[in-house]
Amino acid sequence: MAHRMTVPGLFPPPDYAHVAVVETGRRLAFLAGAVPLDRDGKLVGADDFVAQTEQVLANLAEALTAVGCEPRDVVATTVSVATSDPADLSRVWEVVRAGGLRTGPHTSTLLGVACLGYTGQLVEITAVAEVPG
């Protein structure tokens, strides 16, 4: 079972852990970046950070289900946002916080990046999850 913690000597993080330790003998699932495309490969939420983040979380949940996991099993994420504006980063983080990934809480890195792989893409989330029993 993953042990998540915040480090007392560090600044308290907003709804994520500083460290997650998975004991030996556990299986981990490393998920590719979830993107804001629907089943037909069409971009969801053009120019809308919130709509894209919601679609990314839905796609991530689908991938987690495929390997027998739920959002609560996520131990680490990297959230990439195509922006240099901290307000956009905050908008995305609020959706992530409300989206079930804060259980634990998990470790996370939030990044503003120059661009992402698909035209019009604003958000991508990669994850590592502990596969239950």
Closest by Cα among 67, 133, 66, 79 to 106: 79
Task: State pLDDT tens for residues 70-105.
Answer: 998 998 999 999 999 999 999 999 999 888 776 667
**Domains of the chain, CATH where assigned:** 2-131 (3.30.1330.40)
pLDDT tens digits along 32-51:
999 999 999 999 999 999 99
Query: What's the N-to-C CA distance of the chain in angstroms?
Result: 9
